[in-house]
Amino acid sequence: MDLLRIIKNEMERLKLGDIKVFNSEGKSILADYFFIFTAGGLTQIEASRNKLIELMGKKNIHLKNNLEEWHGGWCLMDFGNIIIHILLAERRSFY
């Protein structure tokens, strides 16, 4: 899917690391695709979150959990069939 590649490429450009993409199409009722990214700090999470909102908005796909708190080092973004997690390294290593 072209959108998945665009998301991955944009997050690589923003220097997010340890990128994982899971295809759960037909296996999960939650979403068809899950992304997990590691960020180096809260500023990087915020920049990535803002870029994803902008990017997906251009595709007329809107964030369903816009009020989700993410300052604890874990940003969960629900775009319907695509769910994105951006975590600080220490938070990700715990899970």
Q: What is the DSSP letter of 15?
A: T
Contacts of 16 (CB under 8 A, 6+ apart): 37, 38, 39, 44, 48, 86
Give the integer Cα–Cα distance in Å for 14 and 51: 9
The CATH number of residue 11's host domain is: 3.30.460.10
Could you list the residue range(s) of the whole structural domain that residue 50 is in?
2-94
Q: What is the pLDDT of residues 24-66, one digit of tens each?
A: 988 988 899 999 999 999 999 999 999 999 999 999 999 998 7
Q: Residue holding tokens 């695709």?
A: 33
Give the integer Cα–Cα distance in Å for 19 and 48: 13
Question: The pTM is what?
Answer: 0.89
Structure tokens at 18: 């340890």
- pLDDT at residue 58, as a whole number: 94
What is the count of structural domains for the chain? 1
Give the integer Cα–Cα distance in Å for 52 and 35: 12
Q: Has residue 69 got a pLDDT over 90?
A: no
